[in-house]
Structure 1
Amino acid sequence: MNARRSGRAPVRGYGITAWGRAFVDPVEAEADHRHITGARRYFRDRHVDSLTILPGRITAAVRGSQLDPFTVTVQPRRIDPPTVVDLLRGTGRLDALLELARGEQPAALRELIAPTEPADVPSSCTCPDEAPRCIHVLATVFEVAARIDRRPTTLLHAMGTDLPELLALARGGDDDGESDAATGEEGGPGRPIVREDWYGDRTPLPAAPVFGTVDPLTELEPAALRRALRASGVPATVIAEAVDDLAELYRLLTGP
């Protein structure tokens, strides 16, 4: 039965993708069953607030057994982006970066950036629990893993890099050492772009096309959107509200 129709909130999940699970496993390896079970409850009940993910530093405020929340800090081992790109190039897997750009989770890249042991993910908490991984730390890591499940590039960010940086390093690392003007210069609208010498003749690529702005909620097929919402179990009385929410989300994603 649909969770919305039954009146029950959907069960939250984390680590349901290989990339999300790769971030969780080294931390859970130091935790016992009691702490993991309690942290799962905190995660499901959304006890983790103010989650901030910065390169090599994750912080959160976690509501626990006391009036004031506990402060959690997780400091993933930062990777060296040039080394990652060199290893991908050496194994002929630079295409993993393009796979990630398409929203996939390439194993070749995950194996180079994800933590592999507990020491790669040190953590601390202001709670009095002296266990290697307290409930609050675990709940925070679960929240981060849930974000990685939704957006794999979150793992890159937490480990100290991002996809644009890796792509730039991949473009600039040609073997003959030629300048970026020959191999990676970006051209604006109307200007050619010269990339890696795939065909051996330094052929300039045509300029990228310029597309006008399109509002998919109004200019494509709004009737199809409403049919899809009805099929997903959204009551007919709230479809208009759901469309408004989607429009606001689209505005935030595409706005300046």
Structure 2
Amino acid sequence: MSPGRRRSKPPVRGYGITGWSRAFVGVVEAGADHRRITGARRYFRERHVDGLEISHGSVTGSVRGSQLDPFDVRLDMRTVDPETVISLLQKTGSVDDLLALARGEQPAALGNLIAPTEAADVMSDCSCPDDAPRCTHVLAVAFEVAAEIDRRPTTLLTVMGTDLPELLAQAQGDEADDAGEPDESTSGTLIADDPFGDHLMPPPVPSFPAMDPLTLLDPTLLRQALRATGVPLTEVAEALDDLAMYYDVLERRR
């Protein structure tokens, strides 16, 4: 290394940067003592967690601790009910939170329904001899999950037993059910809003040829737009894949 040139330091790792991530960490940390939390933060910074796997309603991983063999950790969640989530979003007029989530945001109303709220919502188990409810290894794995939620908000949905396509499908299904319910005031005939008082049915919605808008967009401009929303350069390709998946879900449920 030439004189005067300093060796660049690796970036400092963080977690709990976003609201959803802090909500998850806060529940897991509840009741843990400062010593274990401090040790878990060091394990997180030094990347002692290996093989992290986040599936619907559970998380597994191994943590290299003070002993030769790593300790196995498992987190099991009290999962959410998609039907209940959508019903509550509809009652509060917050269904658009699903679209905000698809844009990479963390809408508060949806987060309040998805995120765990008490320690019992997250059950933990570790193969280490520490009999504390939240040992250092459990906390370290939770911090890794929190970092993933910071990076990709939809991770919280997976952790809590659902995903965005499932919620979108539930919302679409509810809308279809509502549209199929007859209005008793029209003697069994479904009539739309009647602003002109003529009680005439509106014309049918015209059909349009099938198309994939993602293939018609300028890929350079689309990448620039994603970058402008805060998507890291290294995750643009993944964000494009997510957009294609969300559009496919909406198209199939139309």
Identify if the C-alpha distance between structure 1 residues 253 and 104 changes in structure 2 by more than 3 Å, giving closer, same or farther. closer
Provide the secondary structure at the position in 2 that maps to 1:8.
coil
Residue 62 of structure 2 corresponds to: 61
> Does residue 149 of the first structure (1) align with residue 150 of the second (2)?
yes
* Structure 2 residue 47 is matched with structure 1 residue 24: no
TM-score where L is the length of structure 1? 0.73
Partner of 2:188: none
Letter in 2 for 1:95: D
C-alpha distance 150-208 of structure 1, shift in aligned 2 (>3 A): farther
- Aligned equivalents of 2:137 and 2:128: distance in 1? 8
User: What whole-Å deviation, never above 9, does each CA across 1:128-156 have from its counterpart, x for those lacking one?
Assistant: 01112100000000000000001000000
Task: Report the counterpart of residue 44 of structure 2 in structure 1.
Answer: 43
The corresponding residue for 2:94 is: 93
Paired residue total: 210
1:176 aligns with 2:153: no
Gaps of 5+ in 1: 180-196, 226-242
> How far did 1:115 drift?
0.3
How far apart, in 2, do the equivalents of 1:74 and 1:94 lie?
Answer: 29
Q: Deviations over 1:96-141 (max 9, x none)?
A: 1111111110000000010001110010100001112100000000
Aligned ranges 1:226-237 → 2 under 5 Å: none
- Is the alpha carbon distance of 1:49 and 1:151 closer, same or farther for their aligned partners in structure 2, counting shifts above 3 Å? same
Aligned partner of 2:247 in structure 1 is none
User: Deviation per CA, 1:31-74, whole angstroms, max 9, x where unpaired?
Assistant: 11100000000000000000001111110011001111100000
Equivalence map 1:1-256=2 (5 Å): 7-174=8-175, 176=178, 178=180, 201=202, 203-204=205-206, 206-207=208-209, 209-210=211-212, 212=215, 220=220, 250=237
In structure 2, stretches of 5+ residues that fail to align are 182-191, 195-200, 225-232, 245-254
- TM-aligned CA deviation for residue 203 of structure 1: 2.1
Compute the displacement of 1:176 (Å).
Answer: 3.2
RMSD after superposition: 3.2
Query: Cα distance, 1:209 vs. partner?
Result: 3.7
1:195-234 alpha-carbon deviations (Å, 9 max, x no partner) = xx89984524634543548895xxx49xxx9xxxxxxxxx
Q: Distance in 2 between matches of 1:204 and 1:215?
A: 27
Amino acid at match of 1:27: V
User: CA 1:5/1:114 → structure 2, altered by over 3 Å: closer, same or farther?
Assistant: farther
- TM-score (normalizing by structure 2): 0.73
1:106 alignment partner AA = P
The amino acid across from 1:121 in the alignment is: V
Q: Structure 1 residues 83, 65: CA separation in 2 closer, same or farther (over 3 Å shift)?
A: same
